[in-house]
Amino acid sequence: MQLKFHTLDVFTATRFAGNPLAVVAGADALDTAQMLKIAREFNLSETVFLLATNKPAHTARMRIFTPGGEVPFAGHPTVGTAALLAELHSPETNGERDALIVLDQTIGTVRVGVRQKPGEPAHAEFDTPKLPEPIAGVPPTDLLSAALGLIPSEIGLENHRPSAYSAGLPYIFVPVQSLDAIARASVHMAHWTSAFGKSHAAFLYCRETVHATSHFHARMFAPNLGVTEDPATGSAAAAFAAVIVRFDSPRDGSLKKIIEQGFEMGRPSFIETSLMVKHGKLETVRIGGHSVRVSEGTITV
């Protein structure tokens, strides 16, 4: 059996940057074990498998796999898959090809708006299907520092302290004092499980940035999910909205934050995180970014 696939670079307007994504079409005949084998063959942060949907208003059903297993939701697969489907199937109207792509994911229905202009990379954005919620199990600073190869005094930023949230996937958010410190962070497996358990990923962030237009610089490590480091993590950016509201106490209304990530990997990425705050509480979170197609072909199963 041969299946068609595409690869894209997501959260970037430049090819060979951002977070690579593989999308395999017509995957209805594959079982879970076969999907995992293919995801490990591509060996990217995530691989998407497209299946037919029995819901007339939906564009496709999709399953998302890391090399370590299936996940119910992820940001860069949502952005990249929607952009790809819009590019392949949306008609042109008045020189533009804007589209609404409705994706049936394990977490629920996700509606993605895709903007396509001639000569520009596709831009996709979506409201997160689930608002971030606090989760238990924030490790003490000494465990975090040992697992990340930092000294305890480098963890903490202004009033920001380590916290834990999930908008579909659980993350421990670790504020770091500087770009220098965050660049020196690395995975120390001897201490990792003690700090993060078997399912939590680490999302490190600081206010110092490489680009003046960015608001936060970030890194994400998830070795227990088969992802030593991720160039751009939309699901973490979605949950990070709760961190912003908790520690920065923004005024009611809408605001937009740009998170830069992947620089230490040579894969610069920019994630747009838009928040709506009402009465001091988070009402909606929207994740957006560009993506560019890189390759296509067939894989034999």
The DSSP result for 90-139, as a single string, is PPPBTTB--EEEEEEETTEEEEEEEE--TTS-EEEEEE-SS--EE-S-PP
Give CA–CA dist 146/168, Å, rounded: 27
Active site residues: 46
Contact 90, 84 (CB under 8 A): no
Contact 255, 217 (CB under 8 A): no
Distance, in Å, from the CA atom of 21 to the CA atom of 178, rounded to the nearest integer, reads: 30
Contact 216, 271 (CB under 8 A): no
Tokens of 235: 């699901």
Task: Give, as one character, the DSSP assignment of residue 175.
Answer: E
Alpha carbons 261 and 267: distance in angstroms, whole number: 8
